[in-house]
Amino acid sequence: MVIDLSRALAGPHAAMMLGDQGARVIKIEAPGHGDDTRGWGPPFVQPAVGERESTYFLSCNRNKESVTLDLKSAEGGALLTRLLGHADVLVENFRTGVLDRLGFSMSRLQEINPRLVVLSITGFGHDGPEGGRSGYDQIAQGEGGLMSLTGPSMDEPTKVGVPIADLLAGMYGAYGVVAALHERERTGRGQIVRTSLLAGIVGVHAFQATRYTVAGEVPSVAGRHHPSICPYGLFNAADGMVQIAVGSESLWRAFAPAFGLDRPEWATNADRVTERDAVVAAVEGAFAAFDRVTLMQRLAELGTPAGQVRNLAEVYTWEQTRSQGLLIDVEHASLGTLTLPGPPLRYDDQPPTVHRAPPTLGQHNESVRQWLDSVETSPAP
């Protein structure tokens, strides 16, 4: 069982990932207004009867139950203590020190339940010279260097179009929880798993990081094209744009002659990266003779990896998306049948999972209390 004390996105995303894999997740929310994301909009969806629902909240809280608790009250603290005694995992993303002030320091949590795995997500880390800073996604994208790599030019640092720092911290956090639960099988004890929005961003710098740490280069924006592979990026055709990824010399040897680009000075990827502007111009000149459909067909014949740039309406009406289980239908307590983005994992030997809709605020107040009373009064096996 997972107790989700988090709000906004990083922690809720981690808890939702655990719920997708079958964990029971009980989300603790403040009475009256709940998770901050319940108020993040528009867009909102208004049921026939009841409070409006935020599409933001719906995106990151499937497969959870909602219980409202005032954690500053004696009653709320007592009920949380009871829940923690039965839990496997606690997810929290308070600023450093908040849990301590509520009476749930890490040492206290381990006293309540020595087997408890605690996932703590912060903005910039719980310690260090700036460990107390609050963290929001776009700030972390900037501070973590991602915005210096994204966008059309260095004069226009650009954020990723989704809250990627939050999402990455949530994914790393869920991964750490699973590892800690596995370790608990050996030791019998839980532990504290820590990550941050900053760590999530730095953790995916990949080859851009080693360009600096090893080669001493400071990477900058590459716009529509890959900084280390050429041609690899977004190109104009006669009536639209097409992406290609000529990611190996064998791909280049098939691609180049078909478009009149087989030049000795571009024989290797290193040569082409050095002369990227000339290569890009030559590719676009060749593509200008083709409409997008014909060009995509020709690229497929050559075995050149290629694709288009879809908007989200095109993505979610694409049969390939649904075929991969990336859309799910759920029954919401006030909105009825909803279609939501689904989990990104599938298991060949298991039937499709039946998912639960994100909860309304306090929807499970009574059922969770009744369950807690029953397990605490039942005789031990």
Give the integer Cα–Cα distance in Å for 35 and 38. Answer: 6
DSSP structure string for 96-131: TTHHHHTT--HHHHHHH-TT-EEEEEESS-SSSTTT
By three-state DSSP, how is residue 195 classified?
strand
Locate 369 and state its tokens. Answer: 């209390």
* Sequence-ordered strand ranges (E) for 237-372: 241-245, 306-307, 327-332, 336-341
CB atoms near residue 329 (< 10 Å) = 11
Q: Say which residues have a Cβ less than 8 Å from residue 202's Cβ, sequence separation at least 6.
A: 144, 145, 209
Locate 196 and state its tokens. Answer: 């941050």
Verify whether residue 271 is a known catalytic residue.
no
Residue of 166, 239, 262, 291 with catalytic role = 166
H or E element that contains 233 = strand 232-236
Give the integer Cα–Cα distance in Å for 283 and 255. Answer: 10
Residues catalogued as catalytic:
166
